[in-house]
Amino acid sequence: MSCSFFSRGREMEYSLTSCLLCLLLTWVLLQALRSITGGSRASSGKLPPGPRRIPILGNLLDLGDKPHKSLAELAKTHGPLMSLKLGSLTTIVVSSAAMAKEVLQNHDLTFSNRTIGDAVRVKQHDEVGLPWMPVSPLSRTLRKVCNSHFFSNKKLNANQYLRRKKIEELLSYVHKHGRAGVAVNIGQAAFNTSINLLSNTVFSKDLVDPNSKDAQAFKQTVCSIMEEGGKTNLADYFPVLRKIDPQGVRRRMSIHLTKLLNLVDKMFDERLHSRKEHGSIAYDDVLDTLLDIIEDNLVELNKTHLTHLLGVFFVAGTDTTSVSLEWAMAELLQNPKVLQKAQVELKKTIGKGNQVEESDIARLPYLQAIIKETFRMHPPLPLLLPRRAGPDAEIHGFRIPEGSQVLVNAWAIGRDPDIWENPECFRPERFLGLEIDVKGRNFELIPFGAGRRICPGLPLAMRMLHLMLGSLINNFDWKIEGGVMNMEEKFGISLQKAEPLRAVPIPLV
């Protein structure tokens, strides 16, 4: 996401000043050209209302360092369908469940493509990477492969043993800290576990293994891609700057993405080699499934598509999952009664200290409610991923210009007082007995998006989260290091805690 304008204000001052001059010149030239040619073609229909803009920057300065919050505040004045100008990019912001349903369901096809940031144009990733490619027969095939071959219940049930082992390792890591009375950095532990849960599901391999050079390189590369992806890139708001890549974001992204794709390629080749040597040992992981699909010529996909797909899983699935776990733990430690109630449910259902299995999740409604409540208050991608308006888009009588960026503020919807009673309170009970899930049917709660671009990793992410959270609280009580916690947010590629959560585990058994 590239909306974190000014989140790294100081870092950007230099590029901003040097680029402004160039922009000013371009703007003056364009204005002059317009007056000579008689201006642009008048278009019918009104744009949605929005705040006043200043020349060149438009509303960029309105975003602040927490754009999801600033946009929610602006929506209180301008309404749930709002238009802004971010540099030269017309941006439409959706801030209510009803409007989200209009965009993501009723006009799904019109808004099903993405606005492409300059950084993802490297290695043709915008054309072959699933999150960015336009809706096409290729994207449909890739999504079908994900849904039926990777993330179906049957497939996930078959490879759950790969994740079970990683949870045991997480618990033994936490036990060590417990015995020493030392705090665990929950976000870091969750990140390492998430990346290993994912890499075991995909490759049957650990990627956070201090003894493996490849693993360390992989983790570092995934982190660097996230970092570049979370940066505000002026070239996204002023396309005239694309050629010069003023902040070097595209150049660095190209280096990291090439590394990631090479590492995935290496995993492919190793597995191909081992299949030749040892025949088809069933790993039941994603990689094996993919190779079977290719060998059986089941679908028209080539190795480039699949390498990009697997690379994407790590970038899209690691941070989102670990950030959610960190927020869930932070809320539980802030709300000891909720934590206690969850522990009682776990004790009754599976027994204190016993391993939580994926098959237990359905029998843990309060744990499920905690995860939903965490997503309501802390959606990891508060503005989802940007959509792009297709031709002739119109919502509630307002014209949405073709090519506009469309942002759905899931964070604002999750805290809308017209939907949620006491929206600022963490109260999982609100979900008990309610038929609301996160699968894109209930627009009050859409952390995974909705419609034809809804997150395909949802079933895996939900298993990983329940498993990690259930295990951490069924085995330990927790004490916040220093006794106080800061619940401030930090906007980046995902919505992080500004201060990492550190807590001391106290073994329950």
Binding site as annotated, residues? 455
Q: Which two tokens stand for residue 58?
A: 């438009």
Q: Is residue 380 near ligand HEM by the rule CB under 6 A?
A: yes
- φ, ψ at 398 (rounded to 5°): -95, 140
Of residues 7, 91, 95, 321, which one binds ligand HEM by CB under 6 A? 321
> Distance between terminal CA atoms of the chain?
43
* Rounded-to-integer distance, Cα 175 and Cα 114, Å: 44
Residues 121-150, interacting with ligand HEM (CB under 6 A): 130-131, 143
Q: Is residue 111 near ligand HEM by the rule CB under 6 A?
A: no
Q: For strand 489-491 and strand 502-507, is the pairing parallel, antiparallel, or unpaired?
A: unpaired
Of residues 122, 377, 461, 501, which one binds ligand HEM by CB under 6 A? 461
Cα dihedral 415, 321, 479, 505, rounded to 10, equals: 160
We find the least distance from the C-beta atom of residue 453 to ligand HEM, in angstroms, to be 4
SS3 (DSSP) at 46: strand
**Which residue number, 196 or 247, has a Cβ lying nearer to ligand HEM?**
196
Of residues 80, 178, 414, 447, which one binds ligand HEM by CB under 6 A? 447
Q: Is residue 218 near ligand HEM by the rule CB under 6 A?
A: no
The residue among 360, 332, 361, 321 whose CA lies nearest residue 193 is 321
Q: Is residue 492 near ligand HEM by the rule CB under 6 A?
A: no
**Which residue number, 87 or 317, has a Cβ lying nearer to ligand HEM?**
317
Q: Is residue 320 near ligand HEM by the rule CB under 6 A?
A: yes
**Which residue number, 246 or 457, has a Cβ lying nearer to ligand HEM?**
457
Residues 149-188, interacting with ligand HEM (CB under 6 A): none
We find the least distance from the C-beta atom of residue 62 to ligand HEM, in angstroms, to be 23
DSSP bridge partners of 477: 506
**Which residue number, 189 or 450, has a Cβ lying nearer to ligand HEM?**
450
**Which residue number, 16 or 329, has a Cβ lying nearer to ligand HEM?**
329
Residue 503's H or E segment, with its range, is: strand 502-507
Q: How many residues does the chain have?
A: 509
Q: Is residue 117 near ligand HEM by the rule CB under 6 A?
A: no
We find the least distance from the C-beta atom of residue 58 to ligand HEM, in angstroms, to be 24
We find the least distance from the C-beta atom of residue 309 to ligand HEM, in angstroms, to be 7
* Rounded-to-integer distance, Cα 401 and Cα 468, Å: 43
- φ, ψ at 22 (rounded to 5°): -65, -40
Q: Which residues contact 432 (CB under 8 A, 6 or more apart)?
A: 365, 366, 369
Q: Assign 3-class secondary structure to 338-363.
A: HHHHHHHHHHHHHCCCCCCCHHHHHH
Which chain residues interact with ligand HEM by CB under 6 A? 130-131, 143, 198, 312-313, 316-317, 320-321, 324, 380-381, 384-385, 447-450, 453-457, 460-461
